Chains A and B, each alone.
Chain A
């Protein structure tokens, strides 16, 4: 009896589960438009000036910022679940999850700097 419940309950998981779904909604709304933009550039519907007109305004930057926060949070929680599922050795799992988190945060900062440097 004691075997499985020795450490009790961690009282986490609900927050991650909820934020995963909240960010999913934001990503579902904002990522497809970004991908369509990419495809429009691909087949020549948009040239560079038209693309810049669309993304290089305050609204474009705001939406991009919102997207990257939601996307990276969503990706972090998703990868975390995968790591927790398959990496059972805590001394490996915990640093791995930390590395993923820091790595995604670094991408976020890079992305922010790219987005907000346009036109300057």
Chain B
């Protein structure tokens, strides 16, 4: 029956990411990954800043100007928030790995705590930088 063979080959894949409803723990996990990427990209920026700040006094003030200009501020804000979120959620992940908060409800609550901590960090750091 060639017709059926043909259709077996062409079976569609059922929709996944495009239809799956976002769950809080799913968001917490994706945010962990995204913030980790941001922090990995911050490594060269950190080196650039560290080199400048510990060099001649002129370099120091140039770095200070760079940090106070809006791109610098934005980068500091972004990485600061990423750092805080990644740390809080990282502690959550390690505690879960160790067998703490394993109940379904605790997993949900701790995901909310991580996300809330991230939002709080965004507000506090924002008010510090602006």
Contact = CB atoms under 8 A, between A and B. Distances in A.
Interface stretch (B9-17, B83-91, B101-109): B83-91
Interface size class of A (residues with CB under 8 A): 20 to 34
Secondary structure at chain A's binding surface: helix, strand, loop or mixed? helix
Contacts of B76: 38-39, 42
Interface stretch (A6-14, A27-35, A88-96): A27-35
A107 B54 contact: no
B37 interface: yes
B28 interface: no
B53 A48 contact: yes
Contacts of A5: none
Nearest to A85: B33
A56 B54 CA distance: 9
Interface of B: 33, 36-37, 39-40, 43-44, 46-47, 49-51, 53-54, 57, 60, 64, 67-68, 76, 79-80, 83, 87, 90-91, 94, 97, 128-129
